[in-house]
Amino acid sequence: MKTIDTEPSKQASLFSQENQQGHWQGTLDLCFSNVNGKTLPTKSYSTAPLRIQRPFYPAAAPENCQSVIVHTAGGMVGGDRLQMGITAEPGTQVLVTTAAAHKVYRSQ
């Protein structure tokens, strides 16, 4: 069984959680692999305000790994940057979605 790599990718490490003006610079880096016939997250790294919930496998499709991305800041404003990298290796079955619609606020 593979372990989850919690180290940031080179690209993800270019961003900090907040820049000098207080805007979010969130990063999410996920990789799913087929391990002994089961899709598993083998790399999972995120910085605020992005977070990935623990994956689950529905009873109707136990081979399908489902993961939910959560945006914890309550909305986006001008200057916020969210970067996501998601890789599904051959032989995987994965659904990645968000928990809800996100608000985008007007800014000057």
Summarised one tens digit per residue, pLDDT across range 34-56 is 999 999 999 999 999 999 999 99
- Specify if 34 maps to a domain: yes
pTM attached to this predicted model:
0.76
- Specify if 105 maps to a domain: no
Reference 68, options 85, 83, 56; nearest CA is 56
pLDDT of residue 9: 53
Output 19 or 32, whichever has higher pLDDT.
Answer: 32
On the question of pLDDT at 27 being above 90, the answer is yes
The length of the chain in residues reads 108
- Specify if 67 maps to a domain: yes
- Specify if 42 maps to a domain: yes
Structure tokens, 94: 């994965």
Hunting for tokens 């180290």 — which residue is that?
Answer: 7
- Beta-strand (E) ranges in the chain? 25-35, 38-46, 50-52, 65-71, 81-88, 94-98
pLDDT of residue 15: 46
Domain tally for the chain?
A: 1
| Per-residue pLDDT tens digits for 62-100 | 999 999 999 998 888 888 999 999 999 999 999 999 988
Q: Which domain holds residue 51?
A: 12-98
